[in-house]
Amino acid sequence: MLFIPSIYIGEQEIFTKAVPAFSPANGGGNMNLISLKSDYAFKALFSHENVRKQFLSDLLGIPPGAIRSAALVDTGLWTRYRKHRQGVLDVLMELGDGTRVNVEMQVRRLMHWKKRQFFYLAKMYAENLKAGEDYDKLCRCVSIAILDFDLTEEAGCHSVYHMRNGEGRELSDLWEIHIVELRKEPQETGAVGDWVRLFNARREEDLEMIRTKSIGMTEAIEALREMSLSRAMRYRHEVNLKLRRDRKAEDDYVRHCGREEGKAEGKAEDVLQLLRELGSIPQEIEIKIRNEKDLNTLSGWLGAAARAESMGRFRENSGL
């Protein structure tokens, strides 16, 4: 029997219980897998230290033995002034040498994605320096974006960007951006391609295509199997799929019908999308936003959500 411990997803704790171990005999060979592209499964995967270390080793080209630690730290980035926009990262790690690494899964194409990525990288970099400290305290920051859409024109699925001049000479290694595009066929025969296969895995046979036998990858595969066997995690997965289907249906409705009601629903969802970056949305607030049909009111709430640095500030500015 496998025992799957309780895991934390946001403010919610999901308890799981002992389940039969994976084997072809109990139907595991045809088992549908939880999608690692969902927020809760992605974060649950990186709760395993060996997985974090192996992932960083494979993506950044650091020997596994050189990564002494890959500690998870608070994913909320500070704001200096009241009107500054707060940043909330998916997975934020700090290595033994002080290097900070943000790993983000993004399944929907966002406007101004590149500017957004630099915003988070700059926040993460500046946060290192405390009042009164010298600039030499600033540490290297790395952004790893895992995208379920095509962003670059590169043929490969893994692109790395450094700060270099026109002749290719590096100015500094303090900023580094990695982009992993899951829709592109992995041309890499090594570990990076196997991580792409893992994040794209939908059924058990997809895992058989992964060639890496490292400790971290083996633990990642087993963690995915355990999550897929957990009824609680599967329920969360189904809810997540429903929300994504509903959002797509709303977008199609607004695009093709162009009705005022559809526009209101789309704008209400935009408000909620911004509020989710601030934390959990109170149920009564979400209901009021979804039921509101006046576009001017929704536009006001959208502006309040964009300016707010906390849920409390949004409620104060919007009157909700």
Task: For residue 252, tell me if it sits in a domain.
Answer: no
- 283-307 per-position pLDDT tens digit: 888 899 888 888 888 888 888 888 8
- CA–centroid distance for 219 within its chain: 20
Cα(282)–Cα(262) distance, integer angstroms: 23
- Mean pLDDT across the chain, nearest whole number? 78
- CA–centroid distance for 50 within its chain: 19
Q: What's the number of domains the chain is made of?
A: 2
Same structural domain, 59 and 183: yes
In sequence order, the 6+-apart residues with CB closer than 8 A to the CB of 44 are: 7, 9, 223, 227, 233
Which own/partner contact pairs does 76-85 have at CB distance under 8 Å and 24+ positions apart?
Answer: 77/120, 77/123, 77/124, 77/127, 78/123, 78/127, 79/309, 82/309, 82/313, 83/307, 83/309, 84/309, 85/119, 85/306, 85/307, 85/309
What mean pLDDT is predicted for residues 190-209? 92
Residue entry with tokens 């149920």: 283
Task: For residue 269, tell me if it sits in a domain.
Answer: yes
Same structural domain, 97 and 183: yes
For the entire predicted model, the pTM comes to: 0.61
Task: For residue 11, tell me if it sits in a domain.
Answer: no
Task: For residue 12, tell me if it sits in a domain.
Answer: no
Same structural domain, 37 and 173: yes
Instruction: Give whichever of 86-95, 190-199, 294-303 has the largest mean pLDDT.
Output: 190-199
Same structural domain, 209 and 283: no
Same structural domain, 194 and 262: no
Task: For residue 13, tell me if it sits in a domain.
Answer: no
Same structural domain, 265 and 190: no
Range of the domain at 43: 30-230
Task: For residue 19, tell me if it sits in a domain.
Answer: no
Same structural domain, 71 and 211: yes
Same structural domain, 200 and 75: yes
Cα(94)–Cα(25) distance, integer angstroms: 41
